[in-house]
C-alpha cells in the first residue's frame, strides 16, 4: 500500500458533492430507522425486517456503489489516473491503496450506520446488533470490491452495479431460488444466521447459503476483484476517447 495514493484518494472521495451524497444516505437511514423504532418500540423482528429490506437491500449497496466507483471512476473519466500509472508503483499497490480507502469509507458510511439503525429501529439485543454489523461489514467490503472492478471495466459502472444489486439480488432472486444463492447479500447474511443461533427464526434471519459457502464465496469474490482490477489497470487505455 502507498500512503500518497491513500491520501490522494481520500481527499478526492471526501471532496465536494460526492461527500454530500455520501452523508445524506446514512443520515436518511438513521432518520427512517428512528421513525420505525418510534412506531414499533423495541421489536427485534420488526427491526430485522427493516434492516434487511431497506438497509441491506437498498442503502448499503447504494453507498458501496458510490464509494467503490468513486475512488477510481472519476480519475478514469478525466484521465488524471495517468499521474498514478506513470510512476514506479505496482498496479496492485494502486488497487489495494484505493480499496483501503474505500473499505474505510464503507465502515464509516455503511457499516456503523447500519448498526446504529438496527438499534434505533428497535433491535436492541447485542446479538442482533452483532449479526447485522457483521453482515453489513462483509457485504460492504464485497460490494465495494465488485463495484471498484466494474468502474475499471466500464463507464457505465454505476448503472451496471445497480442492475446487479437491485435487479439480480432483489427482483430475480424473488423468482428464481438459484439466483438467490449467487448473491452478495445472501452470502453476508450467512454469518448473521449463525450469530442469531436459536433466535434466527424469531428475528427472521435466514440466509440462502451455509456459513462456509458464504464465507468462501465472499473471499473468492474479493480476491478475484482485486486481481482483475490490477490486471485491468495495467492494460487501461486512458487516451481513447469515446
Nearer to another protein, 24 or 216 (CB): 24
Going from the C-alpha of 134 to that of each of 8, 34, 123, 223, the distances in angstroms are 29, 21, 15, 19
Question: CB 43 → another protein: shortest distance, Å?
Answer: 12
Residues 145 and 226: beta-carbon distance below 8 Å: yes
Distance CA 98, CA 13 (A): 10
1 binds another protein (CB under 8 A): no
Q: Which stretch binds another protein (CB under 8 A): 32-40, 124-132, 200-208, 223-231?
A: 32-40
Query: Using the 8-state DSSP alphabet, how is residue 57 labeled?
Result: I
The count of chain residues that interact with another protein, using the rule CB under 8 A, is 61
Question: CB 60 → another protein: shortest distance, Å?
Answer: 12
- Give me the numbers of helices (H) and strands (E) for the chain, helices first please: 15, 0
Question: CB 127 → another protein: shortest distance, Å?
Answer: 25
Nearer to another protein, 40 or 194 (CB): 40
85 binds another protein (CB under 8 A): yes
Question: CB 223 → another protein: shortest distance, Å?
Answer: 22
Q: Would you give the binding string for another protein spanning residues 149-188, x where CB under 8 A is met?
A: ------xxxxx--xx--xx---x-----------------
102 binds another protein (CB under 8 A): no
**Look-up of cell digits 450467512:** 190
Question: CB 208 → another protein: shortest distance, Å?
Answer: 22
Q: Which stretch binds another protein (CB under 8 A): 125-133, 177-185, 193-201, 229-237?
A: 229-237
Q: Applying CB under 8 A, which of residues 60, 64, 73, 187 lies at the interface with another protein?
A: 73
Question: CB 59 → another protein: shortest distance, Å?
Answer: 8
Distance CA 18, CA 95 (A): 20
Residues 124 and 42: beta-carbon distance below 8 Å: yes
Residues 56 and 185: beta-carbon distance below 8 Å: yes
Give the list of residues 6+ apart from residue 136 with CB closer than 8 angstroms, or none. 55, 56, 60, 110, 111, 114, 115, 188
Going from the C-alpha of 124 to that of each of 11, 101, 172, 201, the distances in angstroms are 35, 30, 32, 17
Distance CA 10, CA 8 (A): 6
State the residues that interact with another protein by CB under 8 A. 2-5, 7-8, 11-12, 15-18, 21, 25, 28, 32, 35-36, 38-39, 54, 58-59, 62, 65-66, 69-70, 73-74, 77-80, 82-91, 155-159, 162-163, 166-167, 171, 234, 236-240, 242
Amino acid at each position: 500500500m502507498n500512503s500518497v495514493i491513500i491520501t490522494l484518494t481520500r481527499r478526492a472521495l471526501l471532496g465536494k458533492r460526492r461527500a454530500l451524497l455520501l452523508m445524506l444516505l446514512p443520515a436518511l437511514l438513521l432518520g427512517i430507522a428512528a421513525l420505525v423504532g418510534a412506531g414499533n418500540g423495541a421489536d427485534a423482528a420488526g427491526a430485522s425486517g427493516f434492516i434487511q429490506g431497506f438497509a441491506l437491500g437498498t442503502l448499503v449497496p447504494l453507498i458501496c456503489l458510490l464509494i467503490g466507483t468513486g475512488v477510481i471512476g472519476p480519475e478514469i473519466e478525466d484521465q488524471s489516473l495517468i499521474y498514478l500509472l506513470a510512476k514506479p508503483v505496482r498496479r496492485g499497490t494502486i488497487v489495494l491503496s484505493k480499496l483501503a480507502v474505500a473499505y474505510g469509507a464503507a465502515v464509516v458510511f455503511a457499516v456503523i450506520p447500519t448498526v446504529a439503525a438496527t438499534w434505533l429501529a428497535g433491535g436492541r439485543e447485542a446479538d442482533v446488533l452483532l449479526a447485522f454489523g457483521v453482515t453489513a461489514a462483509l457485504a460492504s467490503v464485497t460490494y465495494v470490491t465488485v463495484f471498484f472492478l466494474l468502474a475499471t471495466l466500464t463507464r457505465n459502472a454505476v448503472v451496471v452495479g445497480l442492475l446487479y444489486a437491485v435487479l439480480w439480488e432483489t427482483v430475480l432472486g424473488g423468482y428464481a431460488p438459484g439466483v438467490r444463492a449467487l448473491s452478495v447479500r445472501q452470502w453476508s447474511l450467512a454469518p448473521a444466521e449463525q450469530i442469531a443461533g436459536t433466535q434466527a427464526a424469531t428475528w427472521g434471519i435466514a440466509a440462502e447459503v451455509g456459513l462456509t459457502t458464504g464465507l468462501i464465496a465472499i473471499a473468492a469474490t474479493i480476491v478475484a476483484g482485486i486481481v482483475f482490477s490490477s490486471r485491468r489497470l495495467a492494460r487501461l487505455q486512458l487516451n481513447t476517447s469515446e
